[in-house]
Amino acid sequence: MPRLPGAPCPIAGEQQSLPPKGRSTGLCCGASGPEVADLQFRLRWLDLYGGRLNGTYNQRLTDSVLAYQQSRGITSDLPGQYGPATRAALQREVPDIVSD
C-alpha cells in the first residue's frame, strides 16, 4: 500500500495514532527537503543514522529518529517523527552546519 507524502512510516509492531487536534506532528516519513537533510546530518553526527544525506525522510530515518527519542527519553512527540521536542533536543545537542 503506498504512503502519502508526509504520512508516518509504520514502526514494526506499533500502532500509529493520530496526534491530538491542533498539534503539529513535525517532519515524518514521506517529507523531503533541506530540513530533512539537516535532520539526517545531525543524526549522523551522533552515529545514529548511516543512510544517505539526500533530504528524504524514509523508513531508515524514521528508525533513527525513534532510536534518538528512546535514548533521550523523548515521549511528547509521536514515535519516529521529528516533532518540536525532538527537534529542540537535537538542535541543542548537535551544532548547526556552518558554511563559508
Q: By C-alpha distance, which of 39, 28, 30, 55 is closest to 89?
A: 39
Cβ–Cβ < 8 Å for 83, 26: yes
Coil, helix or strand for 97? coil
Place of cell 543514522: 49
> Residue 100's pLDDT is what?
52
SS3 (DSSP) at 27: strand
* pTM score of the predicted model: 0.77
CA angle 78/35/15 to nearest 5° reads 20
Q: What is the pLDDT of residues 31-73, one digit of tens each?
A: 999 999 999 999 999 999 999 999 999 999 999 999 999 999 9
Domains along the chain with CATH numbers: 34-93 (1.10.101.10)
CB–CB of 16/78 below 8 Å?
yes
